[in-house]
Amino acid sequence: MKIKNKTLLLVAVAILFSCFATPVRAQEITPTVSDDEVNRVAQQLYCPVCENTPLDVCPTKACAQWRELIREKIALGWSDQQIKRYFAEQYGGQVLAVPPLQGLNWIVYVLPPLVVIGGIYLAITIVKRSRKSVIPEETDLVPSPPPASETVMEQIEKDLQKEERS
Amino acid sequence: MIANIGFGLLVITLVTSLIAVITAVYGVTSKTRAMLETSRLAALSTFPLLSMSVAALLALLLSGKFEYVYVYQTTSLSMPVYLKIAALWGGQQGSLLFWCWLLSGFTFIVLIRKWKQDHDLLPWVIVVTNITLFFFMVLVLFFENPFLKYYILYNGEVITSLFQPFHAITAHPTDGSGLNPLLRHFGMVVHPPMLYLGFVGFIIPFAYAIAALIEGRTDDRWLKATRRWSLMAWLFLSLGLILGSRWAYDVLGWGGYWSWDPVEISAFMPWLTGTAYLHSMVMQDKRGLFKHWNVALIILTFCLVIFGTFLTRSGLFSSVHAFSESQIGPAFFIFIAVMFVASLGLLLYRWSSLSSNYQIKSFFSRESAFLYNNLLFLAIFAICLLGVIFPILSELFTGQQVTVGPQFYESAAGPLFALLLLLMGIVPLTAWSTSSARNLGKTVWKPALLSLVFPILAVVLSAKNWIAVIAIWLAALVICVTLYDYIRSIRLRAANHHEPLWKAFLTLTTRNRRRYGGYIIHLGVALMGMGIIGIEFFQTQTQAMLKQGESLDLSGYTITYRDLQITDTPDGRNVAKAEISISRDNQELKVVYPRIDYYYDSEQAVTIPGLRTTLADDLYIILVDWEPVTSEGATIKVFRNPLMNWFWIGSIVAVIGTLLALWPSTIRKSIAKEEA
């Protein structure tokens, strides 16, 4: 019974202290870290609860609390990377705006350049193959005359005539 | 009673669409005229049937029959009539029914207008459109029925059912929960129908392409028959995307218009392939090139249209757009897979007969430029597809959830968009057939030199980001080249025909609408590009907690918080409205009222920004939070979005260009009249 009373007393004291401690800490931290500094980090993170909503613009109370958490971490001298790592450990990898460079995530970084390289290769191949099958006289790369004004007009007139025929 | 009629009509439509498919196939294979006529009538009748069913649902929505689940979930007594009408597509079940109605309507128009002209292709068009309609009708009837009703069982449990269960009584809620507050905006009222018109519109050219493949008509008849359809579908899809962007800008309080949300991208992907298709269509039309390519692109666009609907409806991705989840995902997946494999199989079967005799002769010819254009669109599409499906793949194979945010899309697709601008800039001056870099340089150098004024001006106005400066130059190149070529043609026409300039302009534009419609679209896109560059590279923002009378500064503007008023409105909202003054050099420019609307019925808050918009920049002000007791202090967030207005102006210009290109040719009309 005595032990139980002591425990209750300790819990009550702890609660009392925490009540005092929290506002003091908030008062110390709040003025030193601006909203802009908080948002700079928050916009690199996504709300862990509402899907596809960046943390800096999420209107929920939960996100407001997470922004306050960022404020505390910045005040403690944490870097952006440390804060992002902390959030990823706490709430999972989906809070990061881009997947971290690990495991299967490499695909996201490697595939786009490969797509571009593949596209360039395809373009060159198609044009080269197409040129090869042209009759030699026509493939002569003597530059055709520039589309001077007259030729532009001719082209337009041709288009118009074609339009009329079709 | 009305609901029973609506439901009964849905069942009849389902059966009718199946009859249309079976009789069309039988009619073509057995060459039975009566069967084909039956098929035509069956396909035609789906539209009036679905129209009546849609009317039944509308009647329920407008009369506030809250015992019906859909009516309860999407309307409330306090909603105005226009929102009750918009509720038709504001929820899952209604929007699927609306989708079916549009498809049947488009099929109806094609059959009425083209039956005699395209009698050999149209039975297969009926097959394709009605298979699609049948699939969506199955979804509507068996998974997402809009005519379900609430019932109270004898033990007090409330259930939803189509028919009255034994010993159950109908529940009569006095009010509904109302439409999602985020959707109560003009942009959102118009955005879904536009998007659906675009989505469904692309099904018609797809159906024609499949019909041509089945019939072995590998000439360009299918393409010519659906040219206007394709452009119209593209216009609606573009309008849907633009209106959605405006809605996001006005309602979501992000400070921007596009967030690379998976559902946004799912509507953007068919737009990308559709745009590539519109360009390569020109090549087949003018040079007989890209025949395989065109069929492949329209197949891809169709599959992406269904995929886009699937992403929004299946609940696979949760976002602000995916407003509810359902069990229809697997059915969608199977349908897309079957349609894709079958269409691709047909394309491969007809591959050899689709080859072209015409060749691309130079890397710098207009034909090559169109090829590069297509490859760029497809590369951007591939990047978007990767970004959308990667989170699913990651969760599937590693169990890890990841987010692929804007940074990925912007860094991967950004350079490709820049190359597209470059191509748009030079293509009007490239020559058909043979050409060389030197020739191209000779024709482009004048407008290119002129376009340098823009980036120089940007640097003078303290633009330091060299990527932004290059992007500005590329957008300016498009504007200068397009105007240069347009003006040159007008002057030549005026000189050759001894016409005044205005007449030459009108004659050129009206007689060659596709060409100059395209030019105007390019101008619009370049202006939109300016807006995108402004917000992407030069956006600034700040946020602070202000007491009454306090100010904050951003990019030369002073934003002063004056007052906050909190009121309850008769339509069930609690509105917290701040009064903010915007001034510059001690001169007040505007007073804006950013607010937060809290909807009691849905317990949801919507952030409405205060906006000061000019051609130079937008000031976008959000009320983030306020001191709840005294209302003396409020947290204000301010974005400065340079050149933003040009995005909206550009989009209007692009729409005008598309309408011009779509407008029927008066020449053809007069020829037809003469022939008649």
CATH number listed for the domain at residues A31-97? 1.10.8.640
**Partner A contacted by B360 (CB < 8 A):** yes
Q: Which of residues 107-136 of A touch B (CB under 8 A)?
A: 107-108, 111-112, 115-116, 119, 122-123, 126-127, 130-131, 133-134
Which residues in chain A have Cβ-Cβ distances shorter than 8 Å to B432?
155
- Of B405, B595, B323, B531, residue with least CA distance to A56: B405
Which residues in chain A have Cβ-Cβ distances shorter than 8 Å to B413?
112
Q: Collapse the DSSP code of B169 into the 3-class scheme (helix H, G, I; strand E, B; otherwise coil) and give the result.
A: strand
Can you give the pLDDT at residue B324?
Answer: 45
Helix, strand, coil abundance in chain B, percent, nearest 5: 65, 15, 25
Average pLDDT (B349-377) is: 85
If pLDDT is split at 50, 70 and 90, which confidence band does A160 have?
low
- Residue A138, pLDDT above cutoff 70: no
- Of B670, B395, B650, B660, residue with least CA distance to B512: B660
pLDDT one-digit tens code per residue, B535-576: 999 999 999 999 999 999 999 999 999 989 999 988 788 999
Can you give the pLDDT at residue A22?
Answer: 41
Average pLDDT of every residue of chain A: 73
**Partner A contacted by B419 (CB < 8 A):** no
Q: Which of residues 14-53 of A touch B (CB under 8 A)?
A: 34-36, 39, 46, 51-53
pLDDT one-digit tens code per residue, A62-89: 888 999 999 999 999 999 999 999 999 9
Cβ-Cβ contacts under 8 Å between A and B: the total is 180
User: How far away is chain B from the Cα of A24, in angstroms, using its nearest Cα?
Assistant: 19
If pLDDT is split at 50, 70 and 90, which confidence band does B123 have?
very high
DSSP B457-522: HHHHTT---HHHHHHHHHHHHHHHHHHHHHHHHHHHHHHHHT--HHHHHHHHHHHTHHHHHHHHHH
pLDDT one-digit tens code per residue, B186-224: 777 888 899 999 999 999 999 999 999 999 888 888 988
Residue with tokens 């050149």: B643
Average pLDDT (B45-54) is: 96
Domain that holds residue B574: 540-646
- Residue B320, pLDDT above cutoff 50: no
**C-beta separation of A43 from B254 below 8 A:** no
In-domain check, residue B16? yes
In-domain check, residue B345? no
**Partner B contacted by A147 (CB < 8 A):** yes
- Residue A145, pLDDT above cutoff 60: no
Q: What are phi and psi of B571, to 5 degrees?
A: -90, 20
pLDDT one-digit tens code per residue, B623-675: 988 877 666 789 999 999 999 999 999 999 999 999 999 987 655 555 555 44
pLDDT one-digit tens code per residue, A6-49: 544 544 544 444 444 444 444 444 457 899 999 999 989 998 88
Distance between CA atoms of residues B303 and B213, nearest Å: 17
**C-beta separation of B626 from B634 below 8 A:** yes
What pTM was estimated for this model as a whole? 0.87
Query: Between residues B245 and B670, which one has the greater pLDDT?
Result: B245
**Partner A contacted by B16 (CB < 8 A):** no
- Of B519, B451, B465, residue with least CA distance to B490: B519
Q: Residue B543 has which token pair?
A: 């946020």
Can you give the pLDDT at residue A140?
Answer: 41
Min mean pLDDT across A117-121, A157-161, B150-154, B250-254 is at A157-161
In-domain check, residue B30? yes
Can you give the pLDDT at residue B354?
Answer: 83
Can you give the pLDDT at residue B317?
Answer: 59
**Beta carbons of A104 and B429 less than 8 Å apart:** no
Distance between CA atoms of residues B344 and B298, nearest Å: 11
Residue with tokens 């679209």: B521
**Beta carbons of A163 and B668 less than 8 Å apart:** yes
Distance between CA atoms of residues B60 and A93, nearest Å: 45
User: How far away is chain A from the Cα of B259, in angstroms, using its nearest Cα?
Assistant: 9
Q: Which residues contact B187 (CB under 8 A, 6 or more apart)?
A: B243, B244, B246, B247, B250, B251
- Residue A2, pLDDT above cutoff 50: no
Query: Between residues B520 and A143, which one has the greater pLDDT?
Result: B520
% residues pLDDT > 70 (chain A): 60
Average pLDDT (A102-118) is: 91
If pLDDT is split at 50, 70 and 90, which confidence band does A162 have?
low
User: How far away is chain B from the Cα of A76, in angstroms, using its nearest Cα?
Assistant: 21
User: How far away is chain B from the Cα of A4, in angstroms, using its nearest Cα?
Assistant: 40
pLDDT one-digit tens code per residue, B489-507: 999 989 988 889 999 999 8
State the total domains in chain B.
Answer: 2
% residues pLDDT > 70 (chain B): 95
Q: What sign results for the dihedral spanned by CA atoms B559, B564, B569, B575?
A: positive
Q: What are phi and psi of B151, to 5 degrees?
A: -130, 150
Angle at A156 between CA A155 and CA A157, to 5 degrees: 90
Of A36, A95, A164, the CB nearest to B671: A164
**Beta carbons of A143 and B261 less than 8 Å apart:** no
CA quadruple A101, A103, A108, A112: dihedral, nearest 10: 100
CB neighbour class for B71 (10 Å; exposed up to 12, middle 13-18, buried from 19): buried
Can you give the pLDDT at residue A29?
Answer: 44
% residues pLDDT > 90 (chain B): 58
Q: Residue B565 has which token pair?
A: 């008023």
Of B262, B378, B386, the CB nearest to A111: B386
Distance between CA atoms of residues B198 and B191, nearest Å: 11
**C-beta separation of B237 from B274 below 8 A:** yes
Angle at B444 between CA B440 and CA B448, to 5 degrees: 145
Cα B673 from chain centroid (whole Å): 36
Q: What ipTM goes with this model?
A: 0.78
Can you give the pLDDT at residue B438?
Answer: 82
